Amino acid sequence: MNLSRYMKERQRLVDRTLRALLAPSSGKPPRTLDRAMRYSLFSGGKRIRPILALASAEALGARLEPVLPFACGLEMIHAYSLVHDDLPAMDDDDLRRGKPTNHVVFGEGMAILAGDGLLTEAFRVMAEGALAAPQRGKAALRALHEVAAAAGAGGMVGGQVLDLEAEEKKPTRTVVEAIHTRKTGAMIRAAVRVGGLLGGATPRQYERLDQYGTAIGLAFQVTDDILDIEGGTEKTGKREGRDAELNKATYPAAIGLDRSKRLARQLREDALSALQPFGPAAEPLRQICHLIVDRAAPAQT
Amino acid sequence: MNLSRYMKERQRLVDRTLRALLAPSSGKPPRTLDRAMRYSLFSGGKRIRPILALASAEALGARLEPVLPFACGLEMIHAYSLVHDDLPAMDDDDLRRGKPTNHVVFGEGMAILAGDGLLTEAFRVMAEGALAAPQRGKAALRALHEVAAAAGAGGMVGGQVLDLEAEEKKPTRTVVEAIHTRKTGAMIRAAVRVGGLLGGATPRQYERLDQYGTAIGLAFQVTDDILDIEGGTEKTGKREGRDAELNKATYPAAIGLDRSKRLARQLREDALSALQPFGPAAEPLRQICHLIVDRAAPAQT
């Protein structure tokens, strides 16, 4: 398969669906709010989470359509989390994906509300998706629950709290892992789970997909940490060395750069071996795994 | 019925359920986040929205238990909205219900995250409620969707945006109504609708309940506006005249104090007449309507 073409096609599918689902079923959002939400939602994100949800259903030979509203919900929640993370009271970032951050353009109050709006609308969109597929009602509810649990106080929001609190301390491996599994890992894992649930995975298939999701969720953040040191602004859209500047708890800070790269490669192996029983239908999931890890830790040949 | 005893019993029931449902099914929230969320969730709120959801189901002679997780979700969303509204970038309030606001106690970053956590956990709690009542799956999904739509960009978040934007302009009645129906009205209306959906209302009953919810949703904010002028801190928990200070778009500012009181009384009449077909089972809904409006505009005898 041609991964680059696959990703572009899926990004287009996700973007088209996002635009369609954002138009509210009732109550028009104020113009400025709508603009602020779309500014961060359509700012060149790679759509990794929605594409993972779709690719997981695909690995099961399932239809993609019922997964789409959940794929969009995942991306809306991801977009909200970036808007809030960049706020002056949090990481105070003025650049994201090479563009001024939301609060720089719209002001702090509007950025908070744009984030709140994206988060809430994500659940509206997922609930509408669930209502549109009554024959999958239970699976859709479980998927919605997965997303809420992964995004909530025990997941992504909790991870951001640990991240803020860690800026004061020397990062240990335990601390870094606790942050990353919650802050990034939980939502990536949820994306894979959502595809499994809506794709009708058997318990055994679901377990395998979950192993894959857990491994790439952590791998994603490890490679992000490495790229913050080695990547440069053109690759990350952020200022290089920004994490070190903020004294962020990262893997390289906790265990060094070389061991971080070895860990990323190990997680790639774990992810790929979990996919073994799925055969060719899981090829997109395999390629996405390479895409994530190879950015920072190319396979040794 | 003894309204004061009824309210106290229901508040206790809601608080007990909130405590039980907050304990996460997976992933423990960090301690500080948990404390910050609970600080605002258990700060003496009257629990009007959850009690309305329960009383609507009661008016239909339905069981309360399936409504409880949704009642709690409504209150968690209400609590989050207050935390974010009070932030320095928004209304910059340091006092809420007579206590220091969340960001004054926990800092701005943590207050934003506590709000995000409460909002996300609300959907987790509602999804768990829906999963626990599979025989009502469709109604529960519709209820969850109602709450998301009422809280989102076309509802409460949109209302807060209009509110912020209106601080610059002279308030007209149209502007004030647009703000209030979204900012406060939508969630109160959603509370009543949720009770109707989960209580198994017929389309005709649902329509009547919705008329009631729309009327008291607006009445609630009109009386709040009046109390900001006449109420004093001990009645409102806020500094008296705070709205006028911020040049807020309020009914008294748009149409004067006397006409605001007449409007509140008219809305009370609308609400009560919508309940007419329900008989004695709707007595709590009637009393709550009086409770809301009589604070600022006692019935003329």
Mean pLDDT throughout A121-141? 93
Q: Which of B90, B117, B153 sits opposite A112 (nearest CB)?
A: B90
Residues 6+ apart with CB under 8 A from B27: A149, A152, A153, A154, A155, A158, A182, A186
Residue A239 is predicted with a pLDDT of 64
Residue B232 is predicted with a pLDDT of 60
On whether the CB atoms of residues B215 and B274 are closer than 8 A, the answer is: yes
On whether the CB atoms of residues B265 and B223 are closer than 8 A, the answer is: no
Question: Residue A301 pLDDT more than 60?
Answer: no
Question: Residue B12 pLDDT more than 80?
Answer: yes
- HEC readout, A195-226: HHHHCCCCHHHHHHHHHHHHHHHHHHHHHHHH
ipTM of the assembly?
0.95
Distance between CA atoms of B285 and B55, rounded to whole angstroms?
Answer: 6
Residue A233 is predicted with a pLDDT of 58
* pLDDT tens, position by position, B208-255: 999 999 999 999 999 999 998 887 655 556 666 777 777 788 999 999
Whose CA is closest to A127, among B68, B108, B123?
B123
On whether the CB atoms of residues B158 and A29 are closer than 8 A, the answer is: yes
* Residue A281 to chain B, least CA–CA distance (Å): 31
Question: Residue B39 pLDDT more than 90?
Answer: yes
Cβ-defined contacts of A275-280 (< 8 Å, 24+)? A275/A59, A275/A208, A275/A212, A277/A205, A277/A208, A278/A59, A278/A60, A278/A205, A278/A208
Residue B277 is predicted with a pLDDT of 96
Cβ–Cβ gap A157/B27 under 8 Å: no
% of chain A at pLDDT higher than 70: 95
Mean pLDDT throughout B113-142? 94
Q: Which of B24, B154, B164 sits opposite A27 (nearest CB)?
A: B154
Residue B28 is predicted with a pLDDT of 86
Distance between CA atoms of B13 and A191, rounded to whole angstroms?
Answer: 35
Question: Residue B259 pLDDT more than 70?
Answer: yes
**Residue ranges per domain, chain A?**
3-294
Residues of A in contact with B131 (CB under 8 A): 138, 141-142, 145
Distance between CA atoms of A270 and B241, rounded to whole angstroms?
Answer: 62
**Least confident span in B112-126, B184-198, B239-253:** B239-253
Residue B284 is predicted with a pLDDT of 98
pTM, full prediction: 0.95
Residue B301 is predicted with a pLDDT of 40
Distance between CA atoms of B123 and B116, rounded to whole angstroms?
Answer: 11
CATH no. for B3-294? 1.10.600.10
Mean pLDDT throughout A268-277? 97
Mean pLDDT of chain B: 92
Q: Which of A26, A137, A152 sits opposite B124 (nearest CB)?
A: A152
Mean pLDDT throughout A32-59? 96
Residue A150 is predicted with a pLDDT of 97
Distance between CA atoms of B193 and B190, rounded to whole angstroms?
Answer: 5
Secondary structure letter of residue B66 according to DSSP: G
* Residue B91 to chain A, least CA–CA distance (Å): 9
Residue A236 is predicted with a pLDDT of 58
Cβ–Cβ gap A120/B148 under 8 Å: yes
Q: Which of A29, A84, A109 sits opposite B158 (nearest CB)?
A: A29
Q: A-B interface: how many C-beta pairs under 8 angstroms?
A: 186
Distance between CA atoms of A236 and A73, rounded to whole angstroms?
Answer: 24
Whose CA is closest to A127, among A26, A229, A211, A236?
A26
